[in-house]
Chain A
Amino acid sequence: MDEVLLGTVLASTLRVATPLLLCALAGLLSERSGVIDIGLEGKMLFAAFAAGAAGAALASTAAALALACAAAVLLSWLHGLACVSHRGDQVVSGVAINLIAAGLTVVLGMAWFAQGGQTPPVGDAVRLQPLWPEAGAVLGPVLGEGLLGHGVLVYLALALVPAVWWLLYRTRFGLRLRAVGEKAQMVDAAGVSVPRLRYAALTLNGLLCGLAGSYLVLAQNASFVPHMTAGRGFMALAAMIFGKWHPVGAFWACLLFGFLDALAIRLQGVRLPAIGEVPVPAIQALPYVLTVVLLAGFFGRSHAPAELGKAYVKER
């Protein structure tokens, strides 16, 4: 295959996969603790807005990142308040967060920047640039452009996969988190606070969603545009489920979905042997179709955390 093509596809895959991966890991932490997270889309959106607004107004990358994470954490805590503290329905709360974020971001954007909901472009100095701009020239299209020519958030996202894995499977906190998502009563009986664990998971969830939102504004586009997440939060949810609630699984799922996205544009008008021309919408639908097929049990059993969706109530 043409090296340049391979390089661009690889680069595109990683770029698309990064926000998905960050959100998928966020959702994973929440759902492994037993709290359904439909609100990834809303949190990512709200964080993107915060990054765009802070980046433009304060001209500081650090401020943009910090405020983006704070915004997403706030929404995660709201979810916790409704679901963990008040035992409300977790799906309804997630839907509410998505709606609130979708509306609030535009209302605030229009009021503060008067550009129809958009934020002003963030300056080049504030944006996250590739760590090694000459990588393509030095190492060629595949290694240089494709692999090593990205900004810090891409590599951070990749590094977070083993980090989240380590957290879940090699630390005390991770053990307790996994247990509370399978049998919260057991954790309570062992003397560990169930709400505190879940709020901790939600806080980490917020931080990761904050990074995902930041990526959209600081690395991908240059400003916040209304509804810019365009369903990526749900695709991240699908990737998390497709990856069977495991960090490495989520990683491969996000790569796959990113690859499908990169492929979709390039396959337009191309005739494949035996299949003919594949319509772009079919490839765009593929991640969702695959997830449904997985859930139907055709890819082996998918074991969701047993406590998922159940509010913890002490038994008599």
Chain B
Amino acid sequence: MNKKHILIVDDDPDQRLVIRLPLEAEGYEVKEAANTEEGRRLVLETKPDLIILDVMMDSTTAGFQLALELHNRADDSEFKEIRNTPIIMLTAIHSTTPLRFAPDEDYLPVQTFLEKPVDPELLLTKVRGFIG
């Protein structure tokens, strides 16, 4: 069976667990990163098929920064190989951050958003939509 790899980047271990359990139950191989630094490293090492990224980590927009880096279109980008890997971004509902959340190729190179608290069914639906 061709196992799809998924990388979760989130600083909350429980949150990572909540996402990992349904994904593993569905047969995906899941790796976890607790911060953006580790996330960068694991992206290069494991070349995941999908990345699930939390917005607020070290800073309130750390997730966005990482997403921008990963999907950088420059030719000398170190993440050249995975720049087309889909990203799901985790956000809190009724978020109070002044950023407007809307998938926008120019500003937020992410494919979709998933609101916390995470609904396992919704998570799996979205993941299936990207990598089957």
The finding on whether chains A and B are genuine partners in a shared complex, rather than unrelated, reads: no
